[in-house]
Structure 1
Amino acid sequence: MEVEELEEEFEEEEDIPTVPDIPPPSQSKPRHSRRRSHKHRLGEHAVTVIENLKNQQLPQLDPIVTLNVGGVYYTTLRTTLLRYPDSMLAAMFSGRHKPQLDNRGAHVIDRNGRYFGYILEFLRSGTLPSSDVASGVLSEARYYALDELEEAMHILPSISAQIVKENHRAQFPDYEENKRRILQIAMENATVTKSGDVIIYAFRTEFVPKASNFNMNHHCSADQAHISIGPWESIADEETLIKCIESDLIDEHFKVKFHEGKRRCKYFCGQSCQKCTFRIQVMFG
């Protein structure tokens, strides 16, 4: 029974005599509350029960924990897992949640077992992972909401470079999804020659013509694009977006022919059309 419910029950059951109001004396004196104390109103027995409920502890937990992380077994102290209270690991092993155990009684975590060893080393002694595994450990640190580990890893050159790249990509809308679509289109267009061209209409801001006689339904080169990306709020221009995509594809070991610049629509009626397209070429095989 919840503490509030128990208090209400005792208040309803006990017949408390009321004290009539007494007019205050003519001289100004400190006024004391006419309400009897919380303890007196409930009765000694009720207070004892409520205090016992309030002081009730979580079930006794084993100080030593065995974990099965992706098939790799670890044994550690529970206090190690509870080191950072705001992390997912602290929540999982606080005793507030029912654990999932394997047939050996180990706590099952369906994550990368190799990287979890580096997570434990950080929790035990603050040790950071080596550069060759840093990116994978960073991903796991984010999964376990270990902000302290992620922040500590910023001093590693490979991680600082990765975070700068992530922030750079974050300037553009749906960056990862658009990059995936570009690669898919390139693969579809490479069936015959093993070289796939992708035409991209990229625009930081929407083009709004000022000339009253400008025909928005003209045959625009942007209408022939395979994919449109934009608008976005960052000051980074369209050229920066295309270079970012090309650089990422190369980092992922795709062979990319760098674009030769943007192609502007040639339509003119009162003013030039400002829409531009870019071509990315990905070679396979």
Structure 2
Amino acid sequence: MNKNEHFEERLKKLCINTSKSITSTQFPNVINLNVGGYLFTTSLSTLTKYEESMLAVMFSGRHEIVKDENERYFIDRDGKFFRHILNFCRSNDLPPEDAALDVLKEAEFFCMSSLIEKLEAAAPKVISLRRREYFRQLIPDYEQIKNNIIQKATEKKTCFEESKVVITQSDHPKLKGQIPCYNCTREFVSVNHTCAFEGLPSDLAISLKTVEIDIDKLIAFTVDELSHDGFKVAVTKVICKFSLRCQGCTLSGLYTAGGILAPRECTNVAHVIRFHW
């Protein structure tokens, strides 16, 4: 769908007649509006100030706009935040921070790129939203990862006030295979263990498909998102630290000289997300 078709589709949703047979519409200099039940009065020049916007297209004279019973031009949108759209058209005023995200939604609908750019540069909530959107683009399966974490936390929810979800990275190095003793080269130990973190096994093993994001950033972002969604969460980073002793050195009385296969400790890392209910 090209830009013109996109505009026409939205104009139809706003009860705007886009028929090509319509003759040019002459609008008065002062426009009375009914936006979803909210009443506004503004000038034609204000509505057409930004030529790239849908408002400018609507009141260009090329389309017929329906009127309500009081002869006000009717726009079928929730008008609660429309005054901020008008104030920007009038004097480039930005909305208060608590309304920024709602105004962004309206600005995107009305294709007001100038307002969108200013919100993206100056409104903290919009900047945070764009950051989250960018992060999601880097990790295509992010929503699935987040939903899996929530599902695991819910499944483990009991009568206690806290549930833990242990998350590991599937390709993180761990202690495994045939390991030689540093002190006793004749001894090899076969290692095959299940990593445990604070006594708990991994609930989710995540495979990262991009080098731009590491597991620490992913978990930090996810915890921030969960908090934003209303969950009470905290996270700690835990190392497995499973270790081995060389049986040959231990039996030979060389335990203190290197009976542990140092530094033969498992370095697999987990992030433990705690949900407080």
The structure that is strand-richer by fraction is: 2
Q: Is residue 264–residue 276 contact of structure 1 (8 Å, CA) maintained in 2?
A: no
Residue 222 of structure 2: aligned partner: 245
Matched to 1:193, the amino acid is F
Identity, % of aligned positions? 30
Q: In structure 2, how many angstroms separate the alpha carbons of the residues matched to 1:250 and 1:119?
A: 30
Match of 2:140 in 1: 173
What RMSD over aligned residues (CA atoms) do the two structures have, in Å? 4.2
| Match status 1:279 vs 2:244 | no
Who is 1:107 aligned against? 74
- After superposition, residues 34-183 of structure 1 pair within 5 angstroms as 58-63=23-28, 64-97=30-63, 99=65, 102-104=68-70, 105-111=72-78, 113-156=79-122, 158-159=124-125, 161-162=127-128, 165-166=131-132, 167-176=134-143, 178-183=145-150
Distance 2:65 2:211 in 1: 45
Cα deviations by residue, 1:79-133 (Å, 9 ceiling, x for unpaired): 322222222333344454554655545413323x232111110011111222332
CA contact (8 A) 2:162 2:276 kept: yes
* Runs of at least 5 residues in structure 1 that lack an aligned partner in the other structure: 1-55, 267-272
The corresponding residue for 1:52 is: none
State how far apart, in whole Å, the 2-side matches of 1:69 and 1:178 are.
40
Task: Output the TM-score relative to the length of structure 2.
Answer: 0.58
Q: Which residue number in structure 1 is paired with residue 164 of structure 2?
A: 197
Contact in 2 for aligned 1:131/1:156 (Cα 8 Å):
no
Q: How many residues align?
A: 215
Per-residue displacement from partner, 1:26-71 (whole Å, max 9, x unpaired)? Answer: xxxxxxxxxxxxxxxxxxxxxxxxxxxxxx9942232344333343
Instruction: Summarize the Cα distance change of 1:192–1:84 in structure 2 as closer, same or farther, 3 Å threshold.
Output: same
2:90 alignment partner, SS class: helix
Once the two structures are TM-superposed, the CA of residue 240 in structure 1 deviates from its matched residue by 0.8
**What is the Cα deviation at residue 177 of structure 1?**
5.3
Does structure 1 conserve the Cα–Cα contact (< 8 Å) formed by 2:101 and 2:126? no
How has the CA–CA distance of structure 1 residues 237 and 160 changed in structure 2, closer, same or farther, with 3 Å as cutoff?
same
Larger Rg computed on CA atoms: 1
Contact 1:81–1:123 under 8 Å retained in 2? yes
TM-score under structure 1 normalisation? 0.57
SS in 1 for 2:52: coil
* Partners of 1:90 and 1:264 in 2: CA distance: 65
Q: C-alpha separation between the residues in 2 aligned to 1:153 and 1:160? A: 6
Q: Does the 8 Å CA contact 1:264/1:277 hold for their aligned counterparts?
A: no
Match for 2:275: what amino acid? V
Conservation of the 8 A alpha-carbon contact between 1:78 and 1:93: yes
Q: Does 1:257 align with 2:224?
A: no
Distance 1:275 1:73, change over 3 A: farther
Runs of 4+ in structure 1 off by over 6 angstroms are 218-221, 273-276
